[in-house]
Amino acid sequence: METTPALKAQHHLTSHDNLTTLQSHILAEEAKYPNSTGTLSWILSAMSFSAKMIASKIRRARLNDVLGSLDSDNVQGERQQKLDVIANETLLRCLGSRAGVAIVASEENEEPIMLRTETEGDRKYVVLFDPLDGSANLDACGAVGTIFSVLRHDRRVMPVERSVLQPGVRQVAAGYILYGSSVVFVLTTGTGVDMFVLDPSIGAFLEVEENLRIPTKSKNYSMNEGNRKSFPTGYQNYLDWAQSNGYSSRYAGAMVADVHRILLKGGVFLYPPTAKAPKGKLRLMYEANPMSMIIEQAGGKSFADKQRILEIQPEDLHQRTSVIMGSPDEVDHVLAQL
């Protein structure tokens, strides 16, 4: 009599076989902390929702004739692109509906926005963001990004909006969304860096990299060499050294695009002090700090001249800083010349 062949158990799925979405990743991270209230998860899901809406508007910008600039400038004195305003409004409205957010602060708004008084909601967090970093690239279909930083709301400080001015080491989460050839969401909540790519056909961010590590070294640097003549001497000496040692240069003119490339391929991103921006151009609170947290969580380094960026005590919401961030060995090569 024929016997039925024993069913062969399939080999078990290992973790990297599993399909993980950003949403399931956020919930899995929350489950690691039994006392978690889920407030941070709600904030991160608001960032995911905002990213999908902003991505959709960027993809159709030219078609909807949304491109082109408003006849207004932002607090930085930069000509606002219509999409800057739309991205900012999208983030403010998505975060505004999250009870856990006490204060939001944006590159596009001069002052922090108090979302709730002392008695409303659990107001545990402050969220800072650059809604559309590199937006000047939009007209040329260049890569742009959203950068965000999450701090715990410090109720002890007065006036209450000063709760925003905390050093980068106090961030509980940081991330960016790169609107490039695909839409990439990179996130850290302090235990490594994870990367997700939007599948527009299902409207979900799927995990593609878990605990991402930056290459220790790579002969690449990324900076606007047009400012070379006004760089402090040490940076000019670094350029001479790098060009004598076979380094190549890539520069997209959008921090998210340049740093994302370095996170994946290695190298160093620099924005030194210049004559036009003697303290550096990039904003500490919602550009340099979140990107520094990500780079450090991936095993890289991030400095402003000789000072670790995450240890800078901020004095002003929109203060600027110089930046040297990327592979540890490559950052060391720059610091050795300063």
- Contact residues for ligand P6P (CB under 6 A)? 133-134, 136, 224, 253-255, 281-282
Least separation in angstroms between residue 253's CB and ligand P6P is 5
Least distance to ligand P6P from the beta carbon of 12, Å? 44
Number of H helices, E strands in the chain: 7, 18
Of the two residues 255 and 293, which places its CB atom closer to ligand P6P in the complex? 255
42 vs 286, beta carbon nearer ligand P6P? 286
Judged by CB, which is closer to ligand P6P: 39, or 81?
81
**Nearer residue to ligand P6P within complex by CB, 254 or 268:** 254
Shortest separation between residue 152's beta carbon and ligand P6P, angstroms = 27
3-state DSSP assignment of residue 212: coil
Between CA 197 and CA 177 the distance in angstroms is 9
With respect to ligand P6P, which residue has the nearer C-beta, 253 or 314?
253
**How far is 266 from 30, CA to CA, in rounded Å?**
30
Nearest distance from residue 137's CB to ligand P6P, in Å? Answer: 8
Rounded to the nearest whole angstrom, what is the least distance from the CB of residue 177 to ligand P6P in the complex?
13
Residues 184, 208: Cα–Cα separation, whole Å: 10
* Residue number with CB closer to ligand P6P (108 or 133): 133
CB of 182 to ligand P6P, least distance (A): 19
Q: Judged by CB, which is closer to ligand P6P: 151, or 288? A: 288
Q: Which is nearer to ligand P6P, 43 or 282 (CB)?
A: 282
**Minimum separation from the CB atom of position 147 to ligand P6P (A):** 9
Contacts of 107 (CB under 8 A, 6+ apart): 74, 75, 76, 129, 130, 131, 133, 283, 286, 287, 318
Phi-psi category of residue 157: left, alpha or beta, with phi > 0 → left and psi -120 to 50 → alpha: beta
C-alpha to C-alpha distance for 78 and 73, rounded to whole angstroms: 5
Q: Which two tokens stand for residue 235?
A: 């940076």
Nearest distance from residue 213's CB to ligand P6P, in Å? 23
The continuous run of DSSP H or E covering 47 comes out as helix 39-59
The pair of structure tokens assigned to 280 is 């550096």
How far, in Å, CA of 290 to CA of 259, rounded?
A: 11
Question: Which segments of 92-156 are extended strands (E)?
Answer: 101-106, 113-114, 125-133, 144-152
Asked if residue 334 lies in contact with residue 238, where contact means CB atoms within 8 angstroms, the answer is yes
Count of CB atoms within 10 A of residue 184's CB?
A: 23
